[in-house]
Amino acid sequence: MVEDQSASAESKAEVNDLDVAWTRVLAGLPPNQRAWLTNSRPVTLHESTAIVAVPDDFTRGQLETRLRPDLERILTESFGRDIRIAVTVDPSLDPELREPAPAPQPVVREQAPVYQSPINQPPNRPLTQPFGQPVEQPYEQPQHQPMQQPYEQPQQQPAQHPMHQPLQHQQAEQPAAAPALQEPTHRPQQPEPIQQIQQPPPPLSVAPPPNGSAQFQPPTDSQGEARLNPKYTFETFVIGSSNRFAHAAAVAVAEAPGKAYNPQLIYGDSGLGKTHLLHAIGHYVRSLYTGARVRYVSSEEFTNDFINAIRDDKAAQFQRRYRDVDVLLIDDIQFLEGKIQTQEEFFHTFNTLHNANKQIVISSDRAPKRLEALEDRLRNRFEWGLITDIQPPDLETRIAILRKKAATERLTAPPEVLEFIASKVQTNIRELEGALIRVTAFASLNRQPVDLSLAEIVLKDLIPEGSKPEVTASMIMGQTASYFGLSIDDLCGSSRSRVLVTARQIAMYLCRELTDLSLPKIGQQFGGRDHTTVMHAERKIRQLMSERRSVFNQVTELTNRIKHQAKQQ
Ligand SMILES: Nc1ncnc2c1ncn2[C@@H]1O[C@H](COP(=O)(O)OP(=O)(O)OP(=O)(O)O)[C@@H](O)[C@H]1O
């Protein structure tokens, strides 16, 4: 912790230095070159790489080609050591795209950049779907299939499974032949077709990848198998000082997968946006590179998949699923702690991908150094790339997140209510969003406008004063079962009677809102259900709360009971 704080203090100092150095850059360039930097700004300095944000790809092309030598020379002189630049596009820097300043109360300082994701720009850059796959497959697929197997410790598996035979290992360690990089096929278009930018700009890489460059193969999986939540994009991600660096690095990685930083590891507490950034990388890569094979997986699913593959003798399919990809996004790596055989398998997956210059992005709830029950060789590998952290957002960022959420979900709430909610919920963004949903649902049920007094009433019970009591899944399940006159076995069982389904979904929703448990962990608590079932339940209850008073009341009453119980413990 102390170490983390000092690292963050150091990075703040460097940001200031970078600002100073940037003024030297501006002073040192001839006017015709300086003009390119009018709307650009330095983002941060990480080791020997200065990340610079520019408003569009055209400017980026200029910085990466014509201006690069001078920029790097002046920065190198300023810092007294070699500095290279990495350029990222932030369209909100374009004065023409900038949102008008918010009227009277300028509480919100951070605005999310409006990413020009090609997904949203069909006319110029259709998203080519190889093999006629649908463009997007719904992310949330309600499934009620119990998991094939409960979460078993992979240690229980036979040590010499074919998946771990020496030959396989050798193959995994071999660098795969990596042909030349194909530039993004869907670079954002520029208004003026100037000859110079007909060439795609050079990649963002700050150092050439060790074994040549990656090439994206035609995908073998469908769009749906990337399993990306359509809501988690860079466009919907609000940037603040707490996540600015992680965001900039994520954009850089998505623009030059396998080249900019490999692996990228994002760490931070629960509910701070790690999963969101992983999905956003996936979307952006897919929109830039035709046919890029992207796979998102939580470490829990990876573990289960591995166990099932061994059980069903499907090692080869398992390996193909995770190794024949261009970008592997692996969430909550801390889940692999203590799981020796899954770590072993992941180690070889990592090596195969890294050797072939395929991008790996990892999230964790802690810095790699603190993943004590993870093998050293894995932790070392995580340190090969770029490690970025996400801190809890400050008040302004929390308000900006609520504004964005309200806009995307079409929820109406005046600024003072958003400020009130943001001041009450300080650490977890999932909880922040949950509070907004409850306030707006309550107003909609009562056909009342959303105002401060209403928000105060709704949040009084949700967020009690004083220290936050720890809520567990068993408390939620116990309270829900007794409230509905059911047993815990009923909640975990397979009956689909209407009352039972609603009770189960409410309990899952509350686990999501009141605990830090991941989706697969919650599914596991409810009789080994799939994580998509939990996602469906969360969405369903959010919707029902604003449509049915009975459901709103049930959720509110249960929250009170659960929090009360937690306080007594
Ligand atoms: N900067 C942000 N801008 C907009 N929404 C955000 C931001 N950060 C987090 N969120 C939202 O907060 C919710 C929780 O985020 P997410 O699931 O990515 O957190 P996490 O760090 O992966 O948590 P966990 O470790 O519990 O899985 C999501 O709905 C996400 O969209």
Atom of ligand 1 nearest to the CA of 277: 18
273 CA from centroid of ligand 1 (Å)? 3
- Please indicate whether residue 365, judged by its CB atom, sits closer than 6 Å to ligand 1: yes
Is 518 close to ligand 1, i.e. is its CB under 6 Å away?
yes
Which residue, by CA, sits nearest to atom 28 of ligand 1?
430
Q: pLDDT truncated to tens, each residue of the chain (569 aa)?
A: 434 444 444 444 455 678 888 888 888 887 667 777 877 888 777 767 777 887 776 677 777 777 888 888 888 888 888 887 877 767 667 665 554 433 333 222 233 333 333 333 332 232 222 222 323 333 333 333 333 333 333 333 333 343 443 323 323 223 333 333 344 433 333 322 222 222 333 332 222 332 333 344 433 344 456 689 999 999 999 999 999 999 999 999 999 999 878 999 999 999 999 999 999 999 999 999 989 999 999 999 999 999 999 999 999 999 999 999 999 999 999 999 999 999 999 999 999 999 999 999 999 999 998 998 899 999 999 988 999 999 999 999 999 999 999 998 888 899 999 999 999 888 889 999 999 999 999 999 888 899 999 999 888 867 766 556 789 999 999 999 999 999 999 999 988 888 889 999 999 999 998 888 888 889 999 999 988 899 999 999 988 988 888 888 889 889 988 988 888 77
Residue nearest atom 15 of ligand 1, based on CA coordinates: 273
How far from 40 is each of 20, 108, 249, CA to CA, in Å?
Answer: 15, 21, 17
Q: What is the pTM of this model?
A: 0.59
Q: Tokens representing 426?
A: 């300080």
- Which of 265, 276, 509 should be mutated for ligand 1, with most atoms under 8 A from CB? 276
Non-local CB neighbours of 500 within 8 Å, separated by 6+ positions? 484, 486, 490, 491
The response to whether residue 276 sits with its C-beta less than 6 Å from ligand 1 reads: yes
Q: Is the CB of 275 under 6 A from ligand 1?
A: yes
Is 271 annotated among the ligand-binding residues?
Answer: yes
- The pairs formed by 374-381 with CB atoms below 8 angstroms and a separation of 24 or more are 374/333, 374/334, 374/336, 374/337, 374/343, 375/340, 375/343, 375/347, 377/347, 378/336, 378/343, 378/346, 378/347, 378/350, 381/263, 381/347, 381/350, 381/354
Residue 291 in marked binding region: no
Ligand 1 pocket member 57 (CB < 6 A): no
Ligand 1 touching residue 271 (CB < 6 A):
yes
Residue of 245, 272, 331 with the most ligand 1 atoms within 8 Å of its CB, for mutation: 272
- Structure token pair of residue 386: 């770029």
112 CA: nearest ligand 1 atom: 3
Whose Cα sits closest to atom 26 in ligand 1?
270
